[in-house]
Structure 1
Amino acid sequence: MIFAPFTGKDNHGRPVTFAAGLLSKENTNSFSWLFNQFVKCMGVAPKLIVTDQDLGMKVAVEEILVNTRHRWCMWHVMNKVADKLPKNMLGSEQLKKGLNACVWSELIEPDAFEETWHAIMERYGLANNVWFSSMFASRRFWVPAFFRDFPMSSLIKTTSISESQNSFFKRYSKSRANLMQFYMNFNHALETERSNSAKLEYYDSTKVPILRSGLEIEKHASTIYSCSAFNEIQDEIVYACFSLSCTTLGVSTSRDIEVYDIKDKDSNSWTVSYSIGDDTYLCGCKKFERLGLLCSHIFCVLKYNFVKLIPEKLCGGRWLKSQFVKPIHGGFCDDQEIHLVVDKKKIAYKNLYALFIETAQSIEGDIDKINTFAAIIEEGKKQLLREGVVLSSTQKRAMIENFYGSHVPTNIEVHPPDVVSTKGSGSRHKSKKEAALKLANKPGRKCGICYEIGHHDSRNCKKVHEKANQRQ
């Protein structure tokens, strides 16, 4: 069967598996069933799905995931360019440079892409090339210019993360494993993935990020973003606040909207609009819309207006620290404090989780301490959950439903398989008597050394005769 996982990214930028299915075939019907089950289990369809150029999957996405934006893997498309180009153009560096700049850029609008594409096709005589014409006709499926306004479209634009997960799961599976073994190996892989994610969350709660500027806005960013996201945000802050190439060229005001002209290091000019009424910022590069991270242009405007904390509407939710992680850097200026509404249950659970991780890491490698710690947890579990008390069936059912947060469905669609009568596999261990009777009934053959008819050959003739002489 074919293993089909659904892979995304967590707030650390690491791969995470949302779900997985087993398919008998890779056709439209199988993919349609898989997408149907995914939506049924998750309760909502994904906003974006990235696949290769499989036609069956494309049809299934259009039929089932109606409101999902479908994107093709850019690597699969661009990897075919060398095979589709005429042989006399394979060594043209100008063509490769111009085509890559046109296709991979996320800073140009669709109209600019189409104009540049047509210019390249005319310049190198590729206007009538069948493959290039078909790729241009399907440009809305793979060209980044058509995903500029789509939220988080730059989060995943190739299937490399999926290939990485496939390689990860191969380390935990075997080609000849049965379904039960595969399921156990799959759960083991998920436990490893969750453990790695828990370690990153623990590092977020204990590791103190190194500040490069000492600005309040950088300190604020270190308290709300995960470590991987903060590293990117930090570069944008330092560049916007200390680089001479990132400057504000001019400001114009129209009613309650302020428009800033910003120049970056590539001598590009960008427009940042600030709405005073709802405290929102919009930049022409659209990095915040594409990736969920602020650009240096917006930070330049924040510096210009002496804003010391990142506005709430610009924080987003994609790259923030998890709810179990507490901020490290504190001590903001007196005139601007961060007011956080914190749930007491979340604080208690966060402290419990941090205590467990800290204890588990401190005793790693000592089997006696690990067993003792496990015994303490098991005893505490029995006392808290009253495992020694006999409960009625109604109480047990209520306790289980309360633990999982759901009720037993009235209509059960998944049932255990039917019992099949078999005659056995023939692998039962036979006794010595049964083995001797089977050997005696087996027809003999002539030995090439002693020329006797028996149950031996030239390889073990000498040993057989020595054993016979010892018995006599």
Structure 2
Amino acid sequence: MSFTPFTGVDNLKRSVTFCGALVAHEDADSFKWVFTRFLPAMGGKEPKYIITDQDAGILKAVPLVFKTARHRYCMWHIMNKVPSKFGMTRDDYSDFLKKLNAIIWDEDIEAAEFDAKWEEIGREHNVNNIDWFQEMYAKRNQWVMAHCRDLDMGGVMRTTQRSESENSFFKRFETIEVHGAQVYNHKVFEEFQEEAKCSIGTCKSRGFTECDSLEVTTVRDANRDRNYEVTYCPDTLKATCSCRMLERKGILCRHVIWIYSSNGVKIIPEQYVVQRWCKDARLSKMFDCNGEATEDVDIIDGKQIAMSVMWLEIHQTVGMLMGKMKNDVDNFSSLIRQFKEKLSPLGSPLNKQQQLEKILGWNKIAMASYHT
């Protein structure tokens, strides 16, 4: 599923994530649901403006949910399309792009002045007849700085660059977490995921030194208000941390995960995947007290699964017989008895006397074992 963070700016002009959502489909209905859930998370208060790319689903969903927020387009996404729309092979491409950037990104130019210069540049470079440029000019009040001067704090954010940076930040930790989900059983993965989550928001570097092929980083853990020393070897991916969580619990700590993510390591190194915590741990050989290998667990598990499925089918069939004729019930009972005869050690069903003697025999054995 796609991760969709809502990114803004705090009072120190730093990027801040207000909330995030996971969507299975990037269509209008999904975005409408996301925006609808975003409002209660923000106390019901709409943002003054929203900056997105020109995704068709978003364009349709925004006016359905937000009534006062002004929807703006990312200037970077639009300007990134200019080369393909104008033609990079044209002789006047560089001159055109220079003039266009001069009026697009100018925060001091007035709206009327912008319109006049756009017309002049378009006429000089023969783009006024290109549909895409006509469309962008018609929507200039949604992305051009000169036409957003009236918007309170509109100059603080002009592109989705902060959001793109946030996505890049989260992706640093995504792949190693995906690998953890693939190899660990559910319970252990929950613990590993908690460490991965804490590595994002609580760990920062407080010092770095190099010694031969080793890198030693002082990692500050804000949650614990302590510093930890992490030694890392880029060649072998070997890493140790002074918190010694790996040695104590067999799971990588948040400090090592932070180091791995910072160095672009996308999977958990094989030497740090403890087999007993893995999903396939039960598939390995099992031994009795004499050291003899027992039956393969995967065969036992396969048989247990087949037995469970069989019982399910039997119960479903019996339930279906509730509304049927007695002949159907008798036929099903007959089929069961026939298969039971095949499974009988003597090749035939036991009569009542034999069944009674066998039960009494079992009871005698059980009583003897009990008294012994």
Distance apart, 1:192 and its partner CA: 3.0
Structure 1 residues 109, 435: CA separation in 2 closer, same or farther (over 3 Å shift)?
same
Aligned to 1:434: 295
SS in 2 for 1:162: helix
Distance 1:130 1:9 in 2: 35
Asked if 1:37 corresponds to 2:17, the answer is no
State whether residues 5 and 17 of structure 2, in contact with CA within 8 Å, keep that contact through their aligned partners in structure 1: yes
Distance 1:139 1:437 in 2: 64
Distance 1:4 1:189 in 2: 20
Distance apart, 1:184 and its partner CA: 3.6
Q: Letter of the 1:29 partner, please give it.
A: D
Instruction: Please list the CA deviations of residues 233-283 of structure 1 after superposition, one character each: whole Å capped at 9, or x if unmatched.
Output: xxxxxxxxxxxxxxxxxxxxxxxxxxxxxxxxxxxxxxxxxxxxxxxxxxx
Q: Letter of the 2:3 partner, please give it.
A: F
Aligned to 1:14: 14
Equivalent residues in 2 for 1:404-415, closer than 5 Å: none
Structure 1 residues 425, 88: CA separation in 2 closer, same or farther (over 3 Å shift)?
closer
Distance 1:119 1:437 in 2: 76
Aligned to 1:126: 127
Distance 1:127 1:143 in 2: 17
Structure 1 residues 45, 82: CA separation in 2 closer, same or farther (over 3 Å shift)?
same
Asked if 1:191 corresponds to 2:52, the answer is no
State whether residues 172 and 188 of structure 1, in contact with CA within 8 Å, keep that contact through their aligned partners in structure 2: no
Distance apart, 1:157 and its partner CA: 0.9
State whether residues 8 and 17 of structure 2, in contact with CA within 8 Å, keep that contact through their aligned partners in structure 1: yes
Aligned to 1:67: 68
Distance 1:436 1:87 in 2: 64
SS in 2 for 1:18: strand
Equivalent residues in 2 for 1:257-296, closer than 5 Å: none
State whether residues 282 and 297 of structure 2, in contact with CA within 8 Å, keep that contact through their aligned partners in structure 1: no
Distance 1:437 1:105 in 2: 68
Instruction: Please list the CA deviations of residues 356-411 of structure 1 after superposition, one character each: whole Å capped at 9, or x if unmatched.
Output: 98x946x6659xx999xxxxxxxxxxxxxxxxxxxxxxxxxxxxxxxxxxxxxxxx
Going by fraction, where is helix more abundant, 1 or 2? 2
Aligned to 2:104: 103
SS in 2 for 1:89: coil
SS in 1 for 2:13: coil
State whether residues 173 and 185 of structure 1, in contact with CA within 8 Å, keep that contact through their aligned partners in structure 2: no
Equivalent residues in 2 for 1:350-389, closer than 5 Å: 360=225
Structure 1 residues 176, 3: CA separation in 2 closer, same or farther (over 3 Å shift)?
farther
Equivalent residues in 2 for 1:18-417, closer than 5 Å: 18-43=18-43, 44-86=45-87, 89=90, 91-174=92-175, 175=178, 178=181, 184=194, 187-188=197-198, 191-192=201-202, 360=225
State whether residues 29 and 60 of structure 1, in contact with CA within 8 Å, keep that contact through their aligned partners in structure 2: yes
Aligned residues: 224
SS in 1 for 2:296: helix
Give unmatched runs, 5+ long, in structure 2.
207-220, 231-241, 245-278, 287-292, 300-372
Aligned to 1:382: none
Aligned to 2:236: none
State whether residues 283 and 296 of structure 2, in contact with CA within 8 Å, keep that contact through their aligned partners in structure 1: no
Distance 2:298 2:127 in 1: 80
Indicate the structure (1 or 2) with the bigger Cα radius of gyration. Answer: 2
Structure 1 residues 114, 433: CA separation in 2 closer, same or farther (over 3 Å shift)?
same
Give unmatched runs, 5+ long, in structure 1.
200-355, 372-423, 439-472
Q: Letter of the 1:107 partner, please give it.
A: D
TM-score where L is the length of structure 1: 0.42
Distance 2:33 2:298 in 1: 55
Instruction: Please list the CA deviations of residues 405-429 of structure 1 after superposition, one character each: whole Å capped at 9, or x if unmatched.
Output: xxxxxxxxxxxxxxxxxxx999555
Distance 1:173 1:86 in 2: 37
Structure 1 residues 436, 190: CA separation in 2 closer, same or farther (over 3 Å shift)?
closer
State whether residues 92 and 125 of structure 2, in contact with CA within 8 Å, keep that contact through their aligned partners in structure 1: no
State whether residues 6 and 19 of structure 1, in contact with CA within 8 Å, keep that contact through their aligned partners in structure 2: yes
State whether residues 173 and 200 of structure 2, in contact with CA within 8 Å, keep that contact through their aligned partners in structure 1: no
State whether residues 284 and 296 of structure 2, in contact with CA within 8 Å, keep that contact through their aligned partners in structure 1: no
State whether residues 27 and 56 of structure 1, in contact with CA within 8 Å, keep that contact through their aligned partners in structure 2: yes
Q: Letter of the 1:93 partner, please give it.
A: S
SS in 2 for 1:127: coil
Instruction: Please list the CA deviations of residues 193-249 of structure 1 after superposition, one character each: whole Å capped at 9, or x if unmatched.
Output: 8x79xx9xxxxxxxxxxxxxxxxxxxxxxxxxxxxxxxxxxxxxxxxxxxxxxxxxx
Q: Letter of the 1:128 partner, please give it.
A: N
Distance apart, 1:37 and its partner CA: 0.5
TM-score where L is the length of structure 2: 0.52
Q: Letter of the 1:41 partner, please give it.
A: A
Structure 1 residues 12, 430: CA separation in 2 closer, same or farther (over 3 Å shift)?
same
Q: Letter of the 1:112 partner, please give it.
A: E
SS in 1 for 2:113: helix
Q: Letter of the 1:55 partner, please give it.
A: A
Distance 1:427 1:434 in 2: 12
